[in-house]
Amino acid sequence: MAWGGYIGWGGFNVADFMNQLESLGFFQYLLPFLLIFALVYAILTEIPVFKDKRGPAVIIALATGLLALQLGFVPAFFQAVFPNLGIGLSILLVALVLAGAFLVGDKGSKEMTAFKWIFFGLGALIFLVVTFASLSDIQFVGSNWWQMYGGLVVVLLVLAGVIVAVVVGSKHE
């Protein structure tokens, strides 16, 4: 038996609670709405026009959040992108832990600079894989887009990485 469904007390368990939230539309509608509302509101309150006028910013953010959920495309995209993002972040975390265990250097050293560029590249690669996988999951680019063009994308990214490495390496010498 798995632990996930049996952690709890007095007849309560986490799996039943999560299933109840899902049946209420918490993950499909409420969380995407809150995320969109918060992002739009944060952006609007930084614009000088809405700096001192919070009321119109709230109304615009509320309307944007509700309109985004109207056709179901946004909830479907969120259901595809965030699990893939979790996997990508896990890969990046493992790579950081392993690199941190073996990398020794001062903050401004060449090793640390190379370390930053390597992890920037790894993060960019994970971003692209998560994006393409998520768009493929919701049939945005077509279900076989990554199979058709994935190799080409990887080759182009490696080629771009080599070009950047040569250009950056030649400037320091």
Q: What is the dihedral of CA 116, 119, 121, 123, to 10 degrees?
A: -130
DSSP-assigned letter for residue 5: T
Confidence of residue 3 (pLDDT cuts 50, 70, 90): low
- By the 10 Å C-beta count (0-12 exposed, 13-18 middle, 19+ buried), 4 is classed as exposed
Q: Which amino acid is at 156?
A: L
Is the pLDDT at 102 greater than 80, yes or no? no
Give the torsion sign (CA, 162, 164, 166, 172): negative
Residues 137 and 81: their CA atoms lie apart, in Å, by 9
Residues near 4 by Cβ (< 8 Å), separated by ≥ 6? 14, 15
End-to-end CA distance of the chain: 61
Residues 57 and 60: their CA atoms lie apart, in Å, by 5
Using CA atoms, how far residue 131 sits from 57, 78, 125, 137, 141, in Å, is 30, 11, 10, 10, 11
Q: Coil, strand, or helix at residue 138?
A: coil
Give 25-35 pLDDT, tens digit per residue: 888 889 999 99
Using CA atoms, how far residue 17 sits from 30, 75, 97, 131, in Å, is 16, 20, 33, 30
Confidence of residue 41 (pLDDT cuts 50, 70, 90): very high
Is the pLDDT at 36 greater than 80, yes or no? yes
